């Protein structure tokens, strides 16, 4: 009877361990937000250009000769595709050649020469070039358009698809990045997400709590900047399931195997002791 009791206790413990999961309180987002509630969102800090950023700058003056003077050559990308008949057709896309900020934050702009643009927003850069063209009597009423080309953030840890993701607009939020990465897995800590950001040559770490909508929207990293790194830490359940070398050996299938093995051993012992 003692052996049977031990067997039942072991089996129950295995079942509990295989079925245990994070509580709803740990995995639910925005728990402090109620329908109709209003919350203050952190001020949007415009993205500012940094060394090695790439930008597209297009100047339109109404005069095709001036346009060709101020704009870089158009780059064409050829793409070959095979249709259902086995025939190969070629196509392509065109885009303006980019400007890359050097290590000092400068670009070489046609006619205007070297310009220091690091620290400027997209709108500030467009207005700066427009004023330079007018003040130097190079164009009367130019339209300058600036677009970011290579800005991205990195998402690591307990998400569906870790990787680098492009920033396609000014108001790109941490929720946008996590969504692009496939959302957090069930093992991701929602109350302790870390964002690493380089500010004035120093890396600073911010904590974000997705369980609290108020904490999230008021965080200085609610709106992301280029090169931000988001790390989602695994929760205690995932940590307990991981072996020292990083493999997840203590999975539900592992415990089921242990329970089956224990049941087999117990059966043998009971048969011998009858």
Q: What is the pLDDT of residues 101-155, one digit of tens each?
A: 999 999 999 999 999 999 999 999 999 999 999 999 999 899 999 999 999 999 9
d(CA 108, CA 114): 4
pLDDT at 62: 86
Give the per-residue pLDDT at 54: 94
- How much is the average pLDDT of 64-86? 70
With a pLDDT cut of 70, the percent of the chain lying above it is 69
Q: What percentage of the chain has pLDDT greater than the value 90?
A: 51
**pLDDT for residue 83:** 55
221 touches 174 (CB < 8 A): yes
Collapsed DSSP state (helix, strand, coil) of residue 255: helix
41 band by pLDDT with thresholds 50, 70 and 90: confident
Average pLDDT of the segment spanning 44-66:
91
**Band of residue 200 on the pLDDT scale cut at 50, 70, 90:** confident
Residue 106: enclosing H or E segment and its boundaries?
A: strand 106-109
Q: What angle do CA 239, 193, 16 make, to 5 degrees?
A: 35
pLDDT of residue 226: 94
Average pLDDT over residues 37-66: 90
Separation between Cα atoms, residue 60 and residue 144, nearest integer Å: 6
**122, 125, 186 from 179: Cα distances, Å:** 25, 30, 14
Average pLDDT along the chain = 81
């Amino acid at each position: 009877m003692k052996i049977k009791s031990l067997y039942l206790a072991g089996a129950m413990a295995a079942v509990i361990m295989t079925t245990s999961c994070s509580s709803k309180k740990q995995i639910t987002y925005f728990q402090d937000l109620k329908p109709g509630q209003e919350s203050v969102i952190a001020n949007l800090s415009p993205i500012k250009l940094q060394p090695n950023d790439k930008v597209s700058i297009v100047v339109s003056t109404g005069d095709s000769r001036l346009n060709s003077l101020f704009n870089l050559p158009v780059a064409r990308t050829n793409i070959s595709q095979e249709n259902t008949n086995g025939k190969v057709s070629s196509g392509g896309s065109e885009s303006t050649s980019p400007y890359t900020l050097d290590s000092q934050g400068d670009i070489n702009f046609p006619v205007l020469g070297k310009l220091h643009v690091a620290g400027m927003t997209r709108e500030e850069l467009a207005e700066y070039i427009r004023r330079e063209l007018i003040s130097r009597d190079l164009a009367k009423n130019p339209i300058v358009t600036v677009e970011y080309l290579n800005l991205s953030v990195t998402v690591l840890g307990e998400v569906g698809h870790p990787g680098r993701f492009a920033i396609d607009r000014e108001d790109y939020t941490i929720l946008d990045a996590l969504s692009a990465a496939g959302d957090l897995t069930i093992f991701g800590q929602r109350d302790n997400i870390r964002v690493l950001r380089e500010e004035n040559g120093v890396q600073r770490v911010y904590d974000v709590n997705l369980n609290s909508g108020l904490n999230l929207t008021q965080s200085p990293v609610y709106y992301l900047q280029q090169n931000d790194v988001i790390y989602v830490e695994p929760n205690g359940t995932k940590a307990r399931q991981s072996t020292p070398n990083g493999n997840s050996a203590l999975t539900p299938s592992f415990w089921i195997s242990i329970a089956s093995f224990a049941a087999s051993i117990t059966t043998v012992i009971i048969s011998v002791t009858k």
